[in-house]
A and B are shown apart, each in its own frame.
Chain A
Amino acid sequence: MSVDIRDRLADLHIEITPETATRHRAAIKAELKSPSPIPVRHMGRRRRPTLILAIVAVVVLTAAGALAAETAVHGEPLFPVKQVTEWARTWVDPTVPADHRIEELESLIDRRANQDAITDQLRRAEDAVADVADNDAVLVDRLNRARDRIVDVDVDVEDTPVSDQPARDDPPQSDGSDRPSDSTLPPSENPNEGDEEGDGDLGFPATIPPLCRRAVASIEHGETIPRWVLRECRDYLPRPGDGTSDSP
């Protein structure tokens, strides 16, 4: 049936008669002799400069964005851009993510960022280095150096004996706004508790800021203290190897 339909359809084919064809050719010839009413479009006369400018703008903006994102650290607005370029570069060099994580860690340490941010970044850097095949020695070395920069202060403090007497009569005043209150310490550890004169169990004078008293007490108990506390109280803490010093 289908073949029958196709055969019947094929019979509808017609042919233009020679007279008609001659008439058509004459009309076409006349049309060809007249100028084409449709202007010839030349891609480039008007559009090409715009196209080139658009391409250049896209390339420049992309490159600028990628460049600006190079120094971004976790949590910054440009960090996703950095991750995209990093993903692309990983195809060429698989150590790029680890390299970036260590750079970010070093950047945070240089900026003296807060301890939590540094700790988180350290964890990311360690993960990234662990992901690199054969644990690239250069990366491991850089990571270790960065790690040392984080903990060296703690090590110094832990190894340092605490003197009973502070050395300064005019210590810096701590603002204490974002610092832990002394009341968080148990009475036995709080130098100010029940000691109006300031010469409690550890014998601190009242002129030492509470924060630093607490820091010294923490050291005494073998605890590590944040770096910013050390910085704040450096005048009241003995230096390494200076066990009996009475001056800062």
Chain B
Amino acid sequence: MTRARDALDEHVDGVRSRSEEAFSAVYALTANSLASYANGMLRDRLAAEDTVQQAFLELARAAPNLRGDGRSLRAWLYRSVRYSCLDEIRRRERRPEVVTDQVPDAGYRDEIALPDPALQAALLALSERQRSLLVLRHVVGLSGTQVAKAMGTNRTAVYAATARAERRLRQLLEGVESEHVATSVSVEREVLDER
């Protein structure tokens, strides 16, 4: 049985020889998915885009020693983004965000506006591994095998862990949404009382 060819297969040799065309093609094929993954991990679009650029710069340096086929290259990129995200998460934990009165301009706010804040909050409450699994599977849309390769595990473990992560996310979402409803009700009551 032969496995399906990966779209990156034909660019692997070019990447190894540090060909600009090959890098451009690989970027076009993977950048959005990598950015979505990083965004799901960091809940920060700009930081996500930076991790994508960082991954490609690292690839440019390490390209001559790259081994394997297109799937290996794809897994390498996801691992690179994942490690960058972990670094960023640790950095944020050491240096929490500073609350400021300064408000970014409207255009910038539109660009970084995050959809579904409840979901994003619930995602952040998951462990890094569970978040990675869910984002890679359902945001990026990788197959179980691709996720396994990117995470350095096997496909069976990916399916089992993803199912557990989904259950956990559902519980968290129910909690976040009920809290959100309770908050909304109390605000409405306060408004009515004021009237």
Interface residues contributed by chain B, number (CB under 8 Å) = 39
Main secondary structure on A side of the interface with B: helix
Whether A12 contacts B56 by the Cβ 8 Å rule is no
CB neighbours (8 Å) of A5 from chain B are 138, 166, 169-170, 173
**B173 neighbours in A (Cβ, 8 Å):** 5
Residue of B nearest to A40 (CB): B64
Assess A31 versus B60: contact at CB under 8 Å? Given A9-B119, A11-B116.
yes
Within 8 Å of chain B (Cβ to Cβ): is A111?
no
Query: Could you tell me if B31 and A24 are in contact, using CB atoms closer than 8 angstroms?
Result: yes
Which of A13, A21, A25, A41 has the most B CB atoms < 10 Å from its CB? A13
User: For this complex, into which size category does the number of interface residues on chain A fall?
Assistant: 20 to 34
Q: How far is the CA of A27 from the CA of B141 in the complex (A)?
A: 27
Write out, one digit per residue, whether chain B residues 162-184 have a CB within 8 A of any chain A CB (1) or not (0).
Answer: 00001001100100000000000
Q: Is the interface of B mostly helix, strand, loop or mixed?
A: helix
Q: How far is the CA of A38 from the CA of B66 in the complex (A)?
A: 11
Specify which of B23, B27, B35, B134 is in contact with A14 (CB 8 Å cutoff): B35
- CB of B49 within 8 A of CB of A20, answer yes
- B-contact bits for A25-62, CB 8 A (1 contact / 0 none): 10111011000111011000000000000000000000
Q: Which A residues are in CB contact (< 8 Å) with B53?
A: 23-24, 27-28
B119 to chain A, nearest CB (A): 5
Q: CB within 8 Å of A: which residues of B?
A: 18, 20, 23-24, 27, 31-32, 35-36, 39-40, 45, 48-49, 52-53, 56-57, 60-65, 111, 115-116, 119-120, 134-135, 138-141, 166, 169-170, 173
Residues of chain A having any CB pair with chain B under 8 Å: 1-2, 5-6, 8-17, 20-21, 23-25, 27-29, 31-32, 36-38, 40-41
Q: Beyond the given A5-B169, A9-B119, could you list 16 further A-B residue pairs with CB under 8 A, ordered by the A residue number?
A: A2-B166, A9-B134, A10-B139, A10-B141, A11-B115, A12-B36, A14-B32, A14-B36, A15-B35, A23-B53, A24-B52, A25-B24, A29-B20, A32-B60, A36-B61, A40-B65
26 contacts between A and B (CB under 8 A): A6-B138, A9-B135, A10-B139, A12-B39, A12-B120, A12-B139, A14-B35, A14-B45, A16-B31, A24-B56, A25-B24, A25-B27, A28-B20, A28-B27, A28-B53, A28-B56, A28-B60, A31-B56, A32-B20, A36-B18, A36-B60, A36-B63, A36-B64, A38-B64, A40-B64, A41-B65
